[in-house]
Amino acid sequence: MPEQNFHMPLLGDMFPEMKVQTTQGVKNIPQDFKGHYFVLFSHPADFTPVCTTEFVAFQKRIKEFEDLNCKLIGLSVDQVFSHIKWIEWIKEKLDIEITFPVIAANDTIANKIGLLHPGKGTNTVRAVFICDPEGKVRAMIYYPQEIGRNIDEVVRALKALKTHDENKVALPAGWPNNELIGNKVIIPPPTDIDTAKKSCECENYDWWFKYKNL
């Protein structure tokens, strides 16, 4: 069996540079999205039921992404004409116009970011990369082919990352609906004795668990 060139970016890495053909022309990633967060998500194949539901769900939340200064980009190893016909089908049959670009990847591009699982044939896995305005990978979510994604969680993760970046705080489980502190945010624990002794105008469970409203 030939060696698989299977790569996966790590959190904090720059998203690999690639020149790609999309339904909206040639794009250079991440350069063309500099200054914006972007969510690049892959799907196994065009004209498949689960992927169709995901595309509709992403499109229905497009304004939420735009309000967060975020661009969407789809991807699979289907050819661009297949993407175009599938998008036309979604518009005609479901009355949903897909407005974000969809990458027509080849195996080299897909392997460059770890989208072809060696045990799953030639279809791309369901991956989500959330990248910041500098092009760094900040979050990754992988799903099996059999399970559609929860797009609201992608939006939530993006909001949380943006809130962290702007306020240098941490976010609790399920934020903004956490069981302990609701929509409040966590002040990162002190890293030295002097900082630990300093008081702040915030609530706390202990010196290492402080939280506040934004």
User: Is 51 known to be catalytic?
Assistant: yes
Mention every residue, 6+ apart, whose C-beta is less than 8 A from residue 81. none
Around Cβ 98, how many Cβ atoms within 10 Å?
Answer: 21
Residue intervals of the chain classified under CATH 3.40.30.10 are: 18-149
The predicted model scores a pTM of: 0.89
Residue intervals of the chain classified under CATH 3.30.1020.10 are: 168-214
pLDDT at 115: 75
From first to last of the 214 residues of the chain, give the pLDDT tens digit: 344 455 778 899 999 999 999 999 999 999 999 999 999 999 989 999 999 999 999 999 999 999 999 999 999 888 999 999 999 999 999 999 999 999 998 777 877 777 766 665 566 778 999 999 999 999 999 888 889 999 999 999 999 999 999 999 999 999 999 999 999 999 988 778 777 666 677 899 988 899 999 8
Q: Which helix (H) or strand (E) holds 26?
A: strand 25-29
Q: Regarding beta strands 126-131 and 37-42, do their DSSP bridges make them parallel or antiparallel, or are they unpaired?
A: antiparallel
The answer to whether 127 and 140 have CB atoms below 8 angstroms apart is: yes
The owner of tokens 């770890």 is 114
| Edge-to-edge strands, sheet with 18-22 | 25-29, 18-22, 102-104, 70-76, 37-42, 126-131, 137-143
Q: How does DSSP assign 110-166, residue by residue?
A: HHHTT-S-TTSTTSPPEEEEEE-TT-BEEEEEEE-TTS---HHHHHHHHHHHHHHHH
Q: Which two tokens stand for residue 93?
A: 């049959």
- Give me the catalytic one of 51, 131, 200, 202: 51
The answer to whether 156 and 171 have CB atoms below 8 angstroms apart is: no
Around Cβ 58, how many Cβ atoms within 10 Å?
Answer: 21
Q: 18-149 — its CATH code?
A: 3.40.30.10
The CATH number of domain 168-214, selected from 3.30.1020.10, 3.20.20.60, 3.10.150.10, 3.40.630.10:
3.30.1020.10
Q: Which helix (H) or strand (E) holds 91?
A: helix 80-94
DSSP structure class, residue 196: H
Measured distance CA(212)–CA(202) in Å, rounded: 5
- Among candidate residues 71, 65, 75, 76, the one with its CA nearest the CA of residue 152: 65
